[in-house]
Homo-oligomer: A and B are copies of this chain.
Amino acid sequence: MATIKELAAYTGLSPSTVSIVLGGKAQQRKIPENTQRRVQEAAQALGYRPNISARRLRDPEAKESMVVAVFWAEDFRAPMMVRFLRGLRRAIQAQGGGCEVLIHPYTCGRLREERSLISLSMFNAAVICNASAEDLAWLEQAKPLLPIVLYNRRSDSYCTVNVDDARIGALPAEVFSAHRRRRAAVLTADEVFYGMRVRTDRFLARCGELGLAVGPVLRQENSMRGGCEGALALCALPGDERPDCLFCASDALALGALRGFHQRGLCLPQALELIAVGNGEREAEEYAWPSLAVVSVPIEEMAVECFYLLRRLVRGEVRPPFSRPMEVRYLPGESCPESP
């Protein structure tokens, strides 16, 4: 990678002149066309690429601004990143900017391979989302030296922003019970983090407490396809094993399940009430047919809190571990209406 110094040597000009031309200030500094051309040709010939860090180091405006990395799993959870970034953006704008967002997609379970978390020279702080148990274990031991907030995970040594997973599981059970449903089923996916298990377990336990029978707990790929297959499997059950209410672990599963139920002519909510964990776009839930009843995960608000927590961490105003709990809300929908 050529530097300005090298271009200077190559052209026989000084670094100052080269810098002026490359910075687009030739006009105001009255550099003749000819000199400009020499510089441009040299840049082309030597493959010059400006060093952004060096430029930034000199830029007084840039000094105030900090860089926050968002680690997000590059799997079925990718679409949820939109909601998170929306919240993050909101928080940054609310403080008048001054924060750049660096996206770091990563493979779940391989957070340890992300050198940037160790090198300390890529960003000021990081929000780590979607961490697996392995990733968390590594974090507990590696202890990166920069401010970190974990999104929707528990930790004894980091700052975290959390939802109450037990509540997410209990709520649907209570609604189903109030609606006098008799047999509940669960449509979920591989438990990529501990909270998912808590949701399912707590749903089942609460059903038990309320006298609801619990039908099958189906585990499918966390996608619409998985949801659709799950629904078809439920419809294939013999009549007495068929549930009349269903807890879906994600919007994707639920939306796919709607298709499966349509295919089989099963009528919601009459034959089956459905409540999903609302982790997708609200509009997709509302304009589904039937619209989805959800226990809504406030992803945008959680992103805002992640940012605030990070800021307090950077300023030394909070010391980890610290957990910021967030409320989940139950939003009825046609798949499980308020007054059935």
Q: Point out residues on A near B: beta carbons under 8 Å.
A: 1, 23-24, 43-44, 47, 49-59, 61-64, 66-67, 74, 78-79, 81-82, 85-86, 89, 100-103, 105, 115, 119-124, 145, 223-225, 227-228, 252, 255-256, 258-259, 262-263, 281, 283-284, 286-289, 314-316
Contact = CB atoms under 8 A, between A and B. Distances in A.
Copies in the complex: 2
Contacts of A86: 74, 78
Contact of A119 (B59, B124, B228): B59
A120 B37 CA distance: 20
A340 B259 CA distance: 21
B52 A54 contact: no
B316 A47 contact: yes
A284 B224 contact: yes
B53 A57 contact: yes
Contacts of A53: 52-54, 56-57, 62
User: Which of A55, A64, A115 has the most B CB atoms < 10 Å from its CB?
Assistant: A55
B49 A66 contact: yes
Contact of A256 (B89, B121, B287, B316): B287
Given A81-B82, A119-B61, A124 B50 contact: yes
**Which 9 A-B residue pairings sit nearest by Cβ, starting from the closest?**
A224-B287, A55-B121, A53-B56, A59-B121, A53-B57, A262-B289, A53-B53, A56-B121, A24-B145
Contacts of A85: 78, 81, 103, 105
